[in-house]
Amino acid sequence: MLNWWGFGSAYQDNPAIGWMIITFVIFMALLLKAIKKPLANYLEARSEQIKNAIEEAKFAKEEAELKLRQYENRLLELDAELAKIKEDFRRQGEAEKARLKEEAKQIADQMLANTEETLKAEVSKAKHELKQEVAEHTLKAAQKRLGVSESLEAQLCQNFVENTTEARV
């Protein structure tokens, strides 16, 4: 059986539970009264710290989202810039290729023209040399047939030179 309020040696094995509950309640009331104000201050300060931390976290999150958007925009700009640079390099390469082709064509045309001129000059020179040789052979053949000596030839040349000079004067 439970001893709620009894005291004494008869209740030594069963202490009074009612008095223990009342004593505990009084102790808790005194304890609560003693720590109520510091506990309230602590809880209020802690609540304020948590609110500030939440606000700072929101602010940090907003800043992080803003930076993320900025970085994403910058990446898009870099992709566009990279594509533009690639296109510029491709166009420059095409222009350089066309310029080099044109330059090579001009050099080839110039070489062909120079070769043709050289060939014409060589042909003209060969014709002139051939005519000279034919004239010399013809002259020698005529001299042999006519029996013209070297002294007569020298005299004829001298007369020709004199006649030409007189005709000029």
The whole-angstrom separation of Cα 144 and Cα 140 is 6
| Structure confidence at residue 142 (pLDDT) | 78
Mean pLDDT of the chain: 89
Q: Which long-range contacts (CB under 8 A, 24 or more apart) does 36-42 make?
A: none
Q: What is the pTM of this model?
A: 0.39
Local mean pLDDT, 10-residue blocks, the chain (169 residues): 71 79 95 92 95 96 96 92 94 95 95 94 93 86 74 79 77
The whole-angstrom separation of Cα 40 and Cα 85 is 66
Residue (of 124, 102, 105) closest to 113 by Cα position: 105
Residue (of 42, 7, 2) closest to 23 by Cα position: 7
Other beta carbons within 10 Å of 18: 12
* pLDDT tens-place string over residues 63-94: 999 999 999 999 989 999 999 999 999 999 99
